Amino acid sequence: MPTIREKRVYDEAATPTPVFVAAEQGLVVAQLSDDAVGEFGLAHPGTARDVAVAPDGTLALATDEALLVASGADPERLTETEFGPATAVSVVDGAERSVVAVDPSGGIARLPIPDAGFHPESGPTAADWVDLGSVDDVRAVDGRLVAAADGVHRITASGLDDAGLDDVRDVAARGAPLAATTDGLYELGNGWMLARGGGHETVATDGERAHAVAADGTVLGRSSGGGDWTALDLPTDEGIVDFGYTDDAVVAATDSGSLLATVGDRWRSRAVGVTGVASIAAGPTLDVA
């Protein structure tokens, strides 16, 4: 399959941020400058199911063949971990920094992140994974939270705890956690509190900004934690499947392979040449000469 490549002119003063796109054709990396998508390319071929990146640059990719990791947000350094096929992945920050992965049967395990990061020459082995248990019908994982048919599960150092709700479609763990379910959009405070009624399919947050997609396709945004959810008018009729955040921009992805970005005054859209987009992850900002 030919490499997907598109180059555009950047503002020389802007520092681009990578946006990682997990799609049917593989992992695409697009460079975002403010709200403009510039150079992009296919970084790893093969069906990608999920992608996550941490502020420290730990990159994790779930594919039909393997769970891969890299340090420095560098897809050229992706290395297998002996986990096997994976359907979802997240990166947990804090004292117990780790990659969390879900296999096709619902088995969940975590891989501690070495202090020096991951190195292709001495990649992780099966023995490095810590089994956390199994959950039926996992839909998504973000940070320490797992969205599943029977509710939200919280990842601990040694296992999984039930965290409430039912029929959860998606979760967002940063700041006050959010959950999209078939009967409402919930925020975790003194227990799960209903923020918006009706079915919701997608939710994302960076701890302040937050976005969601209702079951009827309505795209919603909230500019600050605890603020009101309002409907957004995006320049596309395609379904939004995920959101990502840079320091300045909000990025949305459609199933059919378009990235939409805004820094607050408009949305700009660019197709990145793939289909079947499952998820995106943005950052960290790259240093450029």
Give the tens place of pLDDT for each residue, 241-261: 999 999 999 999 999 999 999
pLDDT at residue 174 above 80? yes
Which ranges of the chain does DSSP label H, i.e. alpha helix? none
Residue 121 sits at φ, ψ, to 5 deg, of -70, -20
Single-letter amino acid code for the residue at 32: L
Record the tokens describing residue 49, joined without a space. 């199911």
**Three-state DSSP class for residue 13:** coil
State residue 245's pLDDT score. 96
Rg from Cα positions in the chain: 18
Average pLDDT, the chain: 92
Token pair of 34, please?
């403010």
Q: Output the CA torsion sign for 120, 124, 126, 132.
A: negative
CATH architecture designation of domain 5-282: 6 Propeller (2.120)
Q: Which residue has the higher pLDDT, 237 or 242?
A: 242
Residue in this structure with the two tokens 């969205």, named with its chain if needed: 147
Q: Any idea which of 12-21, 82-91, 190-199 has the lowest mean pLDDT?
A: 12-21
Question: At residue 159, what is the residue type?
Answer: G
Task: Check residue 225 and give its pLDDT.
Answer: 66
Q: What is the pTM of this model?
A: 0.92
The distance of Cα 129 from the centroid of its chain, to the nearest Å, equals 21
* Short-list 127, 38, 41, 141, CA closest to 81: 127
C-alpha distances in angstroms, 207 versus 153, 211, 238, 258, 259?
19, 11, 26, 25, 21
Structure token digits, residue 188 = 């975790």
Express as a percent the part of the chain with pLDDT over 90: 84
In eight-state DSSP terms, residue 212 is E
pLDDT of residue 3: 45
* Spatial CA neighbour of 168 closest among 147, 184, 185: 147
**Percentage of residues in the chain with pLDDT exceeding 70?**
93
> At 171, is the secondary structure helix, strand, or coil?
strand
> Is the pLDDT confidence value at 286 over 60?
no
In sequence order, the 6+-apart residues with CB closer than 8 A to the CB of 185 are 178, 179, 194, 195, 196, 197, 200, 203, 212, 214, 220, 229
The answer on pLDDT for 96 being more than 90 is no
